Each structure stands twice: as C-alpha cells, then as structure tokens.
Structure 1
Amino acid sequence: MKNALLLLALTAASPALARDTVVKIKLADVLVLPEAKEKLDGTVKFYLDGQKSPSVKKTLGSEVTNKKTNAVGKSDEFACKWAALSALITLQEGAKKNGANAVVNIVSYYKKVESKSATEIECHAGTMVAGVALKGDYATVAK
C-alpha cells in the first residue's frame, strides 16, 4: 500500500502531466465575440506586429499584460479567446489612461518570448488554465 501511495504521489507531482498546448487564435475571431462587442468600445484599435495600421503620430509607452482564465470544461479555443479578450480589455484601459487611440506592434509574449504574427495571438492552454500574454505599444494613430 505504501508503494502504491508513493507511486501515486510521484506521478501527481510529475511535470510530465502538466499540459501546455500552444493554441493560435485569430485576433479577428476574438474581436467579433459578442462579449468583445460589449467590452471593447471601439475607441481603441488593435494592430498586431506586421499588420497594416494607420501611420503612428506618437507613441505613448508600452505595456505587457498576462491574462489567465479557468479552462475547466471549456475547449482550448474558447478558453483562449476568453483570455485574449481579457488581455485586450486591459490594453484598451491602458491606452485610454495614456491618451492613445490604438495599441500597435502587439506580439504574444509568453514567458517573455516574443511570437509575432500579423493575424494570430498565441495562447497556452493547460488542463486547468489557459493564458495569453501580450506586449504592445500605446499610440496615437491617424484616423
């Protein structure tokens, strides 16, 4: 019995059981969520690094946001979209506080490693939690 309990304890503590699935989600798919239409008011635009954007008149600082969501009972895609929306809401709030009308040069920034895409955000989905880390620059862009 002691050996079985020891084996169970070692197995439960094993990092091999920790899931970290990389999920790529399109920014456009997050922006069309009904919740996004409620929470993102349109006064701040989002542009991924490599995505065509209006000319930047002025940069007003940068920010990193790291948002997690409970992934239990949710598909990886749904949980990742939810975490991405939370990150965008944080960036929108920061942009407004800094007098910006856009967040530009947005990159995924999981564990401080940049991942650039003109269309997709990187999410990491685990057994219990999904997370999105983004880094971007607050800016005033031409309308």
Structure 2
Amino acid sequence: MKRILAATLLSLAVAAPHAVAADTRLELPLQELIDSPQAKAAGIDGSVRFYLAGQSHPAVASRMGEDVSNKKTNGVGKSDVESCNWVALSVLKAFQEKAKSMGANAVIDITSYFKKNEFRSATNYECHAGNIMSGVALKGTYAKLK
C-alpha cells in the first residue's frame, strides 16, 4: 500500500509542473474577431471602433487617455483559439463600455500588453493559452475620431 501511495505521489510530482506550465503564445486576427457573430453576441455593437497600432484610422479630434484591460478566462474544455477569442471579446467589451462612458468613439493604437511586454501588430492581438486559463491584455488610447 505504501508503495502504491509513493508511486502515485511521485507521478503527480512529475506531472504537475507540466499541467500548470503550459503557456502557448498565439497571434490571432483582431478584425476577424470583431466582425464575427460571436462579437455581436458578446455585445460588441460597432458604436466604438478598434484600431491596432499601425492600422490607419480617421483623423483624431481628441485623445482621452490611455488604458489597459487585462482579462483571463477558463480554458478548460475549449480550444486555445476559442478561449483566446472569448477572453479578447471580454477585453474589447470593457474598452467599449469605458469609451462610451467617456464620450469616445474609438480605441486607437492598441497593442498587446501581456505581463507588461508590448507586442505591436497592425492585424493581430496576442493571447497566452494554458491548460487551465487563457489571458489577453491590451493597451489602447480612447479617442474621438472625426
């Protein structure tokens, strides 16, 4: 009995770091997500436009401050892409709600900001997917566009 218990504990000790340590970095297209039926279902209503850093946008009438939105979601039972898209929609929804409350109609110069490491792309956002959790952090500037 003691041998079985010792073998079980040893197996768990060896396997545990691998179960927790998984961290897959993905770059996924933001505009494709914004245009998806899932975005509409999540409440992304088009009243606030989102522009990644390097992406062209209409002229800026006024900038209203910078912000970071950092969200995590349960990744259990979901593919990495599915959980990343879900959490990215949560981030966009938070930006949308704050932009509306400030009178902004856009969030511009959006960069990924996972663990305060900036990643810039004119097309993609960065997500980190693990066995249990997936996370997206975006930094952007609220703006009123002409």
> Normalising by the residue count of structure 1, what TM-score does the alignment of the two structures yield?
0.91
Q: Secondary structure at the match of 1:14?
A: helix
Does 2:138 align with 1:134? Answer: yes
Matched position secondary structure for 2:94: helix
Question: In structure 2, which of residues 72, 93, 99 is the aligned counterpart of residue 95 of structure 1?
Answer: 99
Q: CA deviation at 1:15?
A: 6.1
Question: 1:71-107 CA distances to partner (integer Å, 9 max, x unpaired)?
Answer: 1111111111111111000000111111110000100
In the alignment of these two chains, the number of paired residues is 142
What TM-score, normalized to structure 2? 0.89
Two-structure CA RMSD over aligned residues (Å): 1.6
Q: Which runs of no fewer than 5 residues in structure 1 stay unpaired?
A: none
Q: Which of the two has higher C-alpha Rg?
A: 2
Structure 2, unpaired ranges of 5+ = none
C-alpha distance in 1 between matches for 2:10 and 2:100: 53
SS of residue matched to 1:91: helix
Q: Percent identity?
A: 51
How far apart in 2 are the matches of 1:7 and 1:124?
29
Q: CA offset at residue 10 of structure 1?
A: 2.7
Deviation at 1:21, TM superposition (A): 0.2
Matched residue, 1:75: 79
2:33 aligns to what? 30
Q: Is the 8 A contact 2:21 2:130 kept in 1?
A: yes
Q: Which amino acid aligns with 2:28?
A: I
The alpha-carbon deviation at position 3 of structure 1 amounts to 3.9
SS in 1 for 2:103: coil
**1:8 Cα offset (Å):** 3.1
Shift of 1:115: 0.2
